[in-house]
Chains A and B, each alone.
Chain A
Amino acid sequence: DADVTQTPRNRITKTGKRIMLECSQTKGHDRMYWYRQDPGLGLRLIYYSFDVKDINKGEISDGYSVSRQAQAKFSLSLESAIPNQTALYFCATSARHRDEQYFGPGTRLTVT
């Protein structure tokens, strides 16, 4: 079984809808991250969490919110989706600050 899972894997939604992307991990890591990837660009950090009570904005947090329900679960919400949020979204985890990150399989989101 995969260590980091994301649901859904693909989603098409309409402008203005609220959508939640979920991430679960079995690695026992405290640190979790949400990234988005756009064609031609690298991964950009949306939000990160170093433990259940610690949530921080990343480079591009506007239009997004997160919830860390437990050590193993970190959800990303788009309160009112817009077309330029169409992207590939990755969740990742790491054990310590500078350690390698383990990525989930990605969620491809299309906002029409």
Chain B
Amino acid sequence: ILNVEQSPQSLHVQEGDSTNFTCSFPSSNFYALHWYRWETAKSPEALFVMTLNGDEKKKGRISATLNTKEGYSYLYIKGSQPEDSATYLCAFLGNAGNMLTFGGGTRLMVKP
């Protein structure tokens, strides 16, 4: 079983704050790293699929970076809004397997 860890487990910020969280994954046999956003009572939705070391992806106020050599990815949210409140999941795909391994998620709560 692969070890994919996310930190922190939960985060409370004020509206307007910028924030970031971490996904750690095995640094060997890397194939892809996914980020998903999961709002309460909804389905997880993909934010980014990252495949290359040094990748940076951006969607609106959310961006992500990838370091496959050291086995981590950061997700950044600039100027958090209440609608950003959700659980953010990362998932690792190794080149030796066919399955995404998900981290436990970071639950973000943005207070107005």
A-chain residues with CB within 8 Å of residue B91 when the two chains form the complex? 42-43
Residue of A nearest to B35 (CB): A100
CA of A107 to CA of B86, assembled, Å:
19
A45-B99 contact in complex given A59-B1, A103-B43, A105-B43, C-beta closer than 8 Å: yes
B-chain residues with CB within 8 Å of residue A99 when the two chains form the complex? 49
User: Is A98's CB within 8 Å of the partner chain B?
Assistant: yes
Listed residue (A4, A43, A104) with the most chain B CB atoms within 10 angstroms of its CB: A43
> A42 to B104, Cβ gap below 8 A?
yes
The interface on chain B, measured as residues whose beta carbon lies within 8 A of the other chain's beta carbons, has a size of 23
- Contact mask B53-94 → A, CB, 8 Å, 1/0? 000000000000000000000000000000000000101010
> A41 to B104, Cβ gap below 8 A?
yes
User: Is A48's CB within 8 Å of the partner chain B?
Assistant: yes
A40-B51 contact in complex given A59-B99, A103-B45, C-beta closer than 8 Å: no
CA of A103 to CA of B4, assembled, Å:
20
Q: Shortest beta-carbon distance, A91 to chain B, in Å?
A: 10
Q: Does more than half of chain A's interface fall in helix, strand or loop, or is it mixed?
A: loop
> A48 to B49, Cβ gap below 8 A?
no
Q: Which of A4, A44, A106 contacts B102 (CB 8 A)?
A: A44
With A42-B91, A101-B46, A104-B43 already in contact, 7 other A-B pairs whose C-beta atoms are closer than 8 Å: A42-B4, A42-B103, A44-B102, A58-B99, A98-B32, A98-B93, A100-B34
* Interchain Cβ contacts under 8 Å between A and B, 16 examples: A42-B89, A42-B104, A44-B102, A56-B98, A58-B99, A59-B1, A59-B101, A97-B98, A98-B31, A98-B49, A98-B93, A99-B49, A100-B49, A101-B34, A103-B43, A103-B45
- Interface pairs A-B: 10 shortest CB-CB: A42-B102, A100-B46, A103-B43, A98-B32, A43-B102, A42-B104, A103-B44, A45-B99, A100-B49, A42-B103
